[in-house]
Amino acid sequence: MVKAAVLRAPDEPLELCEIVLPDPGPGQVRVRLQAAGVCHSDLSLATGKLKQPVPAVLGHEGAGTVIATGIGVTRVAVGDKVVLNWSPSCGLCWFCAHDEPYLCEHGDDAAREPYATLDDGTPVYAGLGTGTFAEETVVGERAVVRLPESVDLDLVAVLGCAVLTGAGAVFHTADVRAGQAVVVLGLGGIGLSVAQAARVRGAHPIIGIDTSAEKGLLAQAHGVTDFVPAGDDAAKKVRALTGGRGADHAFDCVGGSATTRAAWSAARRGGHVTVVGVGSLRDTVEFSSLELFWFGRTLHGCVYGSSDPDTDVPDLLDLADSGALDLAALRTATTDLTGINQAFDDLRRGHGVRTVVRLDGTPQ
């Protein structure tokens, strides 16, 4: 039996209970989780904004240690430290063959089928196929990336989503260059990762926009050169900081019609808008035909930072080891499983950047 935070129905508090995990089957691994980040996507799954079969163990950003392997597993061994990959590529489909593993046709297969049961036999699903709000999980071997033995699992848990997505958006999707102006809408875990990666690329200025002045102060210590409070005049203030033109690159790290339009307005003519945050299926963004022609901007979706975790995680760890990326900056609170609903409330209120759940039961 494994302790987990279970979502019984949409928009209800998560319930602490025990689940029964099966032994790992062929190609699967069992991971004892040490830390899991609480991402806004988890909240969207919990509220029903994003589809999620229930009951479910949410959580998709986590790190731990392999404690068992199924037949045929070759990528990792018992005792290896790993970070979870919530969108594992199959390596065989058309997208994988064309170097787009983040668009793999089978990346969400694990999320569609139950992976465990409640103690009464009720099937349980894993949020985004990983289920990291639990002491242990069972996933396919391609859903884990092996880490060096020396890493601090509490710190690298955020690599699994926030950093891969945010930094990947800068390095891969947008390919930001030195001297380009960048604006970041939403300074949560992904937004702060965007800002840090833009600094690594030599972008200037790097302008952060958020409703929270507290997040603005933190971001200014980690890449953002100028902070602009969110509001109707934010785009005007961005233009004032960029020679009247607007930013070369605008990143919507919230996801939604309002923030996507705000990012569009903050980009210069001929600039690039990258939508990193995940919005609702029912939230429609509208553009006139004339403005699409006249402004000559590029609007680009971004799935998982257009990243390949197998190659990007080692690169990001190197940047963290050199001090170019500060993973600890993303962790603004810690808790254990009993504090998961409070962590969701903090997300709703816009407090902090990332709460990290310690799954050995000892908050730091």
CB 196 within 8 A of CB 325: yes
The residue assigned the tokens 């830390």 is 35
> Which run of H or of E encompasses 276?
none
Domain coverage including residue 16: 2-160+326-358
The number of folded domains in the chain is 2
pLDDT score for 361: 60
- CATH number of the domain to which 55 belongs: 3.90.180.10
Burial of 95 (0-12, 13-18, 19+ CB in 10 A): middle
Strand partners, 355: 333
pLDDT score for 352: 82
pLDDT score for 240: 97
d(CA 60, CA 137): 11
DSSP state of 148: -
d(CA 206, CA 125): 40
341 lies in a domain? yes
**SS3 call for 144:** strand
Same domain, 9 and 136: yes
Burial of 149 (0-12, 13-18, 19+ CB in 10 A): exposed
Same domain, 13 and 52: yes
Strand partners, 7: 56
Same domain, 63 and 204: no
pLDDT score for 89: 96
d(CA 274, CA 272): 7
CB 106 within 8 A of CB 100: no
Same domain, 7 and 155: yes
Strand partners, 228: 209
Strand order across the 247-252 sheet: 226-229, 206-210, 182-185, 247-252, 267-275, 298-301
pLDDT score for 326: 95
d(CA 196, CA 230): 20
Same domain, 49 and 144: yes
Same domain, 133 and 190: no
pLDDT score for 362: 55
Cis? peptide before 55, omega within 30° of 0: yes
- With a cut of 70, list the residues of the chain below it in pLDDT: 361-364
Same domain, 172 and 201: yes
Angle separating helix axes 213-220 and 189-200, nearest 10 degrees? 30
CB 248 within 8 A of CB 270: no
